[in-house]
Chains A and B, each alone.
Chain A
Amino acid sequence: GAGVSQTPSNKVTEKGKYVELRCDPISGHTALYWYRQSLGQGPEFLIYFQGTGAADDSGLPNDRFFAVRPEGSVSTLKIQRTERGDSAVYLCASSLASGLKNEQYFGPGTRLTVT
């Protein structure tokens, strides 16, 4: 595709519910990243995939958060038992390579609101 796409663009859910956020990276990009951005703050790293495997998941806040990328392309971020503090914009980014040439292209984000 032309760029990174994310669905849904907005998600409102009740506290305690389960949500899935989808990211479709730029075709051919092997690296995929998830970030969380709260109002007035910079993106906060959650997890990074190289291909199908999670190369670095040190940013996941707790075990309610999980992400997969089964075929090395589309990725899904899963949040169980959502809490109001999970409300934020969840950004996905992809890059062509890793290492020093990891210029990242961001998607428009999914705004998650937990009521």
Chain B
Amino acid sequence: GQQVMQIPQYQHVQEGEDFTTYCNSSTTLSNIQWYKQRPGGHPVFLIQLVKSGEVKKQKRLTFQFGEAKKNSSLHITATQTTDVGTYFCAGTGGGNKLTFGTGTQLKVEL
């Protein structure tokens, strides 16, 4: 079945440093979504990408969808302590079933 992997699994950064997480699917995706889960919380939707090569920005966050629609990335510029959490990508192969990635846990130190 479809598998979605993310790297790195963990990332510790100093506040103000940049952060990137990469998402790779074993199959071509129809679309990809990104979610953030704070410690002890539930996943919260960030964004959805649909088109090949699409790039979207939300303030300090930049999301990309690969040309082959099999990979994606999330880049955070100048991290803040409020960015702490686990970031998940989640993709669909054409239906409504979301396959979540393995997640990248981000810790930001002052």
A→B interface (CB under 8 Å): 31, 33, 35, 41-45, 48, 50, 55-56, 58-59, 91, 93, 98-109
Q: Are A103 and B33 in contact (CB under 8 A)?
A: yes
CB of B6 to closest CB in A, whole Å? 8
Residue of A nearest to B44 (CB): A106
Candidates B31, B92, B102; contact of A41 at CB < 8 Å: B102
Q: How far is the CA of A56 from the CA of B30 in the complex (A)?
A: 17
Residue of B42, B90, B101 most packed against chain A (CB within 10 A): B42
Q: Are A42 and B101 in contact (CB under 8 A)?
A: yes
For residue B66, CB closer than 8 A to chain A, the reply is no
Q: Are A50 and B96 in contact (CB under 8 A)?
A: yes
Known: A42-B103, A43-B43. A104 touches B95 (CB 8 A): no
Q: List B residues 43-86 near A (Cβ within 8 Å).
A: 43-45, 48, 50
CB of A64 to closest CB in B, whole Å? 21
Q: Are A55 and B103 in contact (CB under 8 A)?
A: no
Number of interface residues of B (CB under 8 A): 23
For B18-50 the 0/1 string (1 means CB < 8 A from A) is 000000000000110100000001111100101
Q: How far is the CA of A99 from the CA of B103 in the complex (A)?
A: 24
Known: A41-B103, A42-B103, A100-B31. A56 touches B42 (CB 8 A): no
* Chain B residues with CB below 8 A from A98, complex form: 96
CB of B39 to closest CB in A, whole Å? 12
CB of B3 to closest CB in A, whole Å? 11
CB of B107 to closest CB in A, whole Å? 14
Residue of B nearest to A50 (CB): B96
Q: How far is the CA of A50 from the CA of B97 in the complex (A)?
A: 12
Q: How far is the CA of A66 from the CA of B74 in the complex (A)?
A: 36
* Chain A residues with CB below 8 A from B33, complex form: 103-104
Known: A41-B102, A42-B102, A42-B103. A58 touches B42 (CB 8 A): no
Known: A42-B101, A42-B103. A105 touches B96 (CB 8 A): no
Candidates A42, A58, A100, A101; contact of B100 at CB < 8 Å: A42
* Chain A residues with CB below 8 A from B102, complex form: 41-42
* Chain A residues with CB below 8 A from B50, complex form: 100
